[in-house]
A and B are shown apart, each in its own frame.
Chain A
């Protein structure tokens, strides 16, 4: 009896984990840098990676709605189950809202996003300094909420593994051959 996520779901989860940690670190690092060619380069990379993450989360949501994930442990309190679902919903919401806010911010600031320097992403907003600054605050705020939610996500996974000693963490990890 398998209680694991599908390989696709696992692959998308960890690929996005790496990408999003990179994006968060880069975002918080680059934003305080003095203006330089390197800063502009980093901003472009951040935007390209952000568009990629947005594409991946769409694929992931498509997979999620067509594949039922393994159920939570039956002995988990109802309130905790509800919290788990709410947490995942928040993560998905933020994974959608954060790149969108970044894209709109770029538009309002007058710096179009061109994916990998090749594919132009249309500007939805006209250049507008005040709106650009507002969206920058929104982008930062959403990311701070995302960091807090991620800490909860990781903390919960570790609690399940080390305190509850259930399979919540292992079922998203690559399957060991001895388990088969």
Chain B
């Protein structure tokens, strides 16, 4: 009898852990980027993106994430910068309005650390990326944070006169903070 009670207690404890975070809260989520312009760090952000997420801390390897970032929602801090990067040499948002990330696997690294592998598609080009991320539960909110570096040349972002890296560096750090609530 005692044993059954213990097993039951354990099972409920375990199922209480098994919450799945699925509902992304756009107002509490952000995708920012940092790049170097003549060696000076400059940051910007994307104002609009949609995402599908399912993450159960008890079953991290089953987790899935996909993001669609509306590239025209870029905020470089200056209007002429926003207009420029929407144009053909950069994102060419008329032909390629969204950047897409789809996860292919999640590895738990211990503690609250995870490694998400996935495919990033920007401007018709797809690259495999590895994204280190952390997960923090805050009440009913689950917060996913992380950053990874892409090379803009891999996606032909900044062509023609911008193709050299002396003014705008090749490396771009993508930072994200995604808040999702459990169902």
Contacts and interface: CB of A to CB of B under 8 A. Distances in A.
Nearest to A112: B40
A58 interface: no
B84 interface: yes
Contacts of A44: 38, 40
A40 B167 contact: yes
Interface residues of B, number: 19
A111 interface: yes
By DSSP majority rule, is chain A's interface helix, strand, loop, or mixed?
mixed
Interface string A33-76: 00111001100100000000000000000000000000000000
A109 B79 CA distance: 10
A109 B43 CA distance: 11
B181 interface: no
Interface size class of A (residues with CB under 8 A): 10 to 19
B4 interface: no
Q: Identify which of B37, B39, B84 gathers the most chain A CB atoms within 10 Å of its CB.
A: B37
A37 B80 contact: no
B84 A40 contact: no
Nearest to A35: B84
A117 B166 CA distance: 12
Interface string B20-56: 0000000000000000011111110000000000000
Interface in A68-99: none
B40 A37 contact: no
Interface of A: 35-37, 40-41, 44, 109-112, 114, 117, 120, 127, 129, 132
